[in-house]
Structure 1
């Protein structure tokens, strides 16, 4: 397999040692030399997520490596650098390569990183793409941002059971052109209006993503009690039924199966969630035809004119002042797992560890902020705008101290190095990695909340 090689100079105790790094992730037949960034007192390598020990690289850090490599390839561009500011100079340009070759190389690296994210191509959201408030609140609560900012909505119910089995949450709006529209005259003359049908296009869900549950979210608005009288007893109640449509509708008739039902009052505005997992799992796991869902609103002892008018299941012909249909329209939410990493869990916001200003050359964690706008991805990544990835750097001196989190093998290797310099020292590498959550728009303008593993360095050690 062809690899890309980087020769850098790493200063260990005033002794310059050539180090070879190689990776199978990059395009074939490309070679760089002297791709290092020299500081005034020390030498910085441009790829802190590599282990500078012969041809070894931690697989968990490949995604971060590609982000950094894309940034370095930008050379003398106006983009802000992802490399730490301390002791850093600008990376040299691509010597001997034309602008076209550089652009092609960047495109190849972007494709590699997108593949790591599970995307076929770079998403380019349309202007009409919207992010449901529910998924944004779910991200903030799951990532700990809501707790840190103290803006958590008490009415928001975290789907603990569904999220505990999933690392991916997707949001879908229905295809409005396929819903059946009732005329006002029809509803005035018929006591029981037919259910309204919703069709959701779920083709963007990858085949390797196993769904565990799904819910249909409907928004209901408070109704002025003066319209309905006292509103006491059964007069203030509505029943909402959600069905699976089993066959294509014919002659205005729907063949359905009841999925969930709920009795609600109209005296408050809130979202209602209905379990539609059986239908969605049949569509995705068993590949049965997806004819959509149907929603029926049945008031108790109410005139047909007011039937279901507070449940927002279709766009109003005349928009109410200050109303945002995109934020109150029905939303289908799926919870799935792609078999990679751990499920979504509620966690507190990470607090940066306070360290003294005393310079420490030993192996430790350093700050490294990855800004998605630096690589031009802030148009489709909704949150976060960037994150603190950290990296490991420093010496592993003999004898290895306990706080350097070493293995027995590293201790033996360091001992042998002290008497035989042909044997390399132990390397400063990440020993603990954690995940981050990302909220983004995919290639189909669908909103995705996903956990990505091994994105943040939590601990370093000599290995």
Structure 2
């Protein structure tokens, strides 16, 4: 049975018996956690001077709140945004974007071509044209002979401006002006109980302190009932800080506590859990356990990171943060 995200994080981050901290167990847990993030291997760390495009940083801060938790899910088309900078090295006015890192499982929903127009010397006749018409052509009928995109800029009257319009290149200009292609894709990895900021769950939270009080806190949790506890994921501690741009970590939370009869509404029980707790308390049927304390609302989070080709990716992952806990 595949372990939950919370179980993997507890194994990686929380103190426990020696076998839980062995290199073999840790390696297996990291491998499983990468699978949760849709990766086979962790991307290689980029060059230290590599800076993410400002567009991607702005987009990340627009759709996320604290710790990368999604605050405006409707603003993100699909669950993945990939940016590709110009990799051309010749002196001609052409750009090269390597899109090979797009997985076959991803469906491209939209694409943007970002070009920075430089100041040019236009004749008096052309200078009067305040509005320009930009046409973008591509090779869609024959993928084998795909030659990329052809961009034509002309006035509204039809005068072509290819000899007058200049764009910044990746060779000679600041990184903020580099040509870039942005793809909005979806890999259909959807969670089962995504929680958005428009909902306000009932949350009771208890903070754990030092290790010495852990057993005492566990006994207290059983008396208090089903509660939400902090579970901070530090990407530097895991060893992923080299390729994850933001967030530096996030609070996944986890649920713990007893769901014993009588279940109050503050434990957010389902009808089934209430009946099960009654059967357990009255010993009407052998082998019936008490209900389980589990997340009943979940947040999605967003990661902004470098992939193996040093492209910057913004990806949304469902069911990563326990928003509230209940008896089920």
* Aligned twin of 2:137: 244
- Please state if 1:118 is matched with 2:38: yes
SS at match of 2:18: coil
Distance (Å, rounded) in 1 between the aligned partners of 2:18 and 2:80: 39
Q: Tell me how far apart the structure 1 counterparts of residues 204 and 275 of structure 2 sit (CA, whole Å).
A: 32
Shift of 1:124: 1.1
Give SS of 1:113's match.
helix
Matches within 5 A, 1:400-415: 400-415=263-278
Distance 1:210 1:234 in 2: 42
Q: Which residue of 2 aligns with 1:76?
A: none
Alpha-carbon displacement from aligned partner over 1:396-452 (angstroms, at most 9, x marks no partner): 231111221112221121112213285321111111112111111122222111110
2:64 equivalent to 1:143: yes
TM-score by length of 1: 0.56
How far 1:386 sits from its partner (Å)?
Answer: 1.1
Instruction: Please give the secondary structure, in 2, of the residue aligned with 1:175.
Output: coil
Q: How far has the Cα of 1:333 moved from its partner? A: 0.4
Given the alignment of the two structures, is residue 334 of structure 1 paired with residue 197 of structure 2, yes or no? Answer: no
SS of alignment partner, residue 176 of structure 1: coil
State the partner residue of 2:306: 441
Counterpart Cα distance in 2 of 1:416 and 1:173: 62
Encode CA deviations 1:278-313: one digit per residue, 9 max, x unaligned: x5xx7xxx85543222334557999x998224x324
SS at match of 1:312: coil
Counterpart of 1:70 in structure 2 is 12
Determine helix, strand or coil for the equivalent of 1:137. Answer: helix
Q: 1:297 to 1:106 in 2, by over 3 A?
A: same
Deviation string 1:180-202 (CA, Å, 9 cap, x unpaired) is x34xxxxxxxxxxxxx3323211
Matches within 5 A, 1:30-429: 62-71=4-13, 83=14, 90-94=15-19, 102-127=22-47, 129-144=50-65, 163-164=76-77, 166-177=78-89, 181-182=91-92, 196-221=93-118, 234-235=127-128, 237=130, 239=132, 241-244=134-137, 246=139, 287-298=143-154, 307-309=164-166, 311-313=167-169, 315-316=171-172, 324=174, 326-341=175-190, 361-420=224-283, 422-429=287-294
Q: Answer whether contact 1:298 1:307 (CA < 8 A) is retained.
A: no
Task: Report the Cα offset of residue 123 of structure 1.
Answer: 0.7
Number of matched pairs = 301
TM-score (normalizing by structure 2): 0.77
* Unaligned ranges ≥5, structure 1: 1-23, 26-56, 72-82, 84-89, 146-157, 183-195, 247-278
Determine the structure 1 residue equivalent to 2:211: none
- Cα distance in structure 1, aligned partners of 2:255 and 2:80: 29
The root-mean-square deviation of aligned C-alpha atoms, in Å, is: 3.8
Preserved CA contact (<8 Å) 1:142 1:345? no
Q: CA deviation at 1:111?
A: 1.9
* Aligned equivalents of 1:159, 1:369: Cα separation in 2: 23
Residue 214 (structure 2) aligns with: none
Aligned mates of 1:118, 1:353 — CA distance in 2: 30
Partner residue, 2:69: none
How far off is 1:459 after superposition?
A: 1.8
**Contact between 1:197 and 1:293, CA under 8 Å: does it hold in 2?**
no
Where relative contact order (Cα < 8 A, 6+ residues apart) is larger, the structure is 2
| 1:332 counterpart SS class | strand
**Offset from partner CA, 1:187-222 (integer Å, 9 cap, x none):** xxxxxxxxx332321111111111111010112356
When residues 305 and 414 of structure 1 are mapped into structure 2, their CA distance, relative to the original with a 3 A threshold, is: closer
Indicate if the aligned counterparts of 2:203 and 2:324 stay in contact, CA closer than 8 A.
Answer: no
Whole-Å Cα distance in 2 between the matches of residues 63 and 373 of structure 1?
18
Change (3 A) 1:419 1:347: closer
